[in-house]
Chains A and B, each alone.
Chain A
Amino acid sequence: MTDPSGVAVSEFSTPPAGEVREGGQDRQEARSLWSDAWRELRRNPLFWISVVLIVVLLTMAVAPQLFTSTDPRYGDLAVARQPPSAEHVFGTTSQGYDVYARVIHGARASILVGVLTSIGTVVVGGLIGLISGFYGGWLDALLSRVGEIFFAIPLLLAGILTFYLFPPDLEDPLILQVLTVVGVLVLFGWPSLARLMRGAVLQVKPNDYVNAARALGASAPRLIFQHILPNAVAPMIVVATLNLGTYIAVEATLAFLGIGLRSPAISWGIDISLASSIGLVRAAPHMLIFPSIFLTVTILAFIMLGDAIRDAIDPKLK
């Protein structure tokens, strides 16, 4: 398979031909790449919009009580399915929950899954890619084949199968359930980042300064962290940020299908799933619309951030 799969949003994972940054790059240049990128970023309005959105969402995830004092698990059947009103700004669900409180509290699950999965894939994929590219030989062949196998199963199907076979325990605290979801997404999501990292290593490795450092007796970790990582980390960050949105979407999709996170956990995917039975869509569309907007805006924020960083690093594509 020569190209990114359908799931990962990674226009970056195969660097376009001719984009190969020539040798002679060292940390100095990597640093100036970052300061150039920062200058570009600062004048991109999309970047600031996404930063503001992400800060708000993170606050929501960390401290939902700042936004609402209503208990999202308090259902009052007397006020079920009410359209938005002064008391319930986003209306109420068929169980009489306050939609606004549900939406605010739902941020935590999505953000946790997205952020932790991205970090996980970067660590696992990055490490495997480094080893693969740096040592080459049979180790590379083995790791690449294993990566291809995990890559061959689309993320959504992998999630469906795993959570069907090993459903998270509803008794567990939210963080444990989230970690199960994260674990599965990392397990099937790392190969795209490993491939990216491996490519970056192979691109940097033949350069003269790497050979020179090696000849001077630099150790493998030193070579990796001094020379290879600074050059490979930029595309990784872009892809990981773009993928973050994808992971949030996959988590919500699984919840929507009734696997992965499940009620009583609070998540946008679960709420959309509950709201989307045809009878309810007709009777209480606000139950569907508000969590959908929050979910979309969250994904949008991370994709915009990824786009902005990519444009800053690689202005050619603007």
Chain B
Amino acid sequence: MTPSPTPGQPCRKQSTQRDLDPHLHRYAQRTAGMTASEIRALFAVASRPEVVSLAGGMPYLPALPLDSLADELAQMIATDGMTALQYGSAQGTAELRERICELMALEGIRAHADDVTVTVGSQMALDMVTRIFCDPGDVVLAEAPSYVGALTTFASYQAQVVQVPMDDDGLIPDELSAALCSLRAQGRTPKFLYTIPNFHNPAGVTLAVPRRGEILRLCAEHQVLVVEDNPYGLLGFEGQIYPAMRAADPDNVVYLGSFSKTFAPGLRVGWALAPHAVREKLVLAAESATLCPPTFTQFVVARYLTAHDWKGQIKTYQEAYRIRRDAMLEALAHYLPPGCRWTHPAGGFYVWLTVPEGLDTKAMLPRAVTQRVAYVPGTAFYAESDRSPAGRMMRLSFCYPTPDRITEGVRRLATVLDNELELQRTFGSLRPRTVFGSQSPSPDTA
């Protein structure tokens, strides 16, 4: 007989059935992909300081002048606290929307503050756009690869994502045309094209200016809305600023912006600039989601844009990221084995690395974690994770670690690749692809 764990206490004889989650049968179908994975578990280690994380896209906040920001913040609370700590408009404060329009003018956008909706980060704007346009089964076009946070949003609304190839000049118009024609032949019209034209996440490339007009023309011809996501546009390392697609086609582009990369992500302030009718829907959707975006952080950003040398701060960021980009490119060239290739970003946070034929970046992630280096496997950036050639790719972030740490991280990564190549030599072409299920990394790696 099985003993009781405490003397004198009887055992229960009746076997009871347990499930990991007693609420499982209640969840909506759209939660089907929201599951645990080995990949997510491994990223728990990546947050430790012993690990050189080339995974997360965290801005380099030590570049911010915290002392002067603290003074400005204190002053703002003293003068505007009663308003800043109160509920606000669902569309966002008028002052911040005015400042946002001034900022967007740098990219050639002429907009009225009435058409701006402030959101809780541009991620919320993306969620709202998807919410108002997509029914389950609707098609969304995106680049291949694309931002993992966008793919998870599309999945949560049960949209079907069709990804269109890119090259070093960004999204390829001929491929987009082919995708549009193929969908049209199937009787399907995508709800929108989601694109990151500048310093792409994760690919690190920028959409060539001549292609922008071509893509806008194709989308207009096929009656497909364009959602232009531009969090990195002001972070060109040479100070270059590309014309926004929204500037060329105000009636068919929803522009998403963010202060997460140019100021600080903890504030969670982003926005959407949309054609007027779309803006009406966006505000109503945003109101149902959050009532209003945080008034306090809107006041913080508005004050930052009026009282602080924010253009100087962007230059500081540009320089910090340029130094880190250079450190990463130099280390990649020095340490990585033959057969690797990578993009050379002119701005932003990311390098897109392709490893030699036969290697699988998701399968080798445990070895990387053992070597104390982390990256995001390429499959995270594809809606269909087994889609070739995602398995050979990875995203490397250079935004946060110091240049020395970046060099050390790449050196460790090279050791991992050397080990994998030895396995490849041992097992040759017998080796199949993935060993994990499809999963995205956690938000801090997005």
Chains A and B come from one and the same complex: no
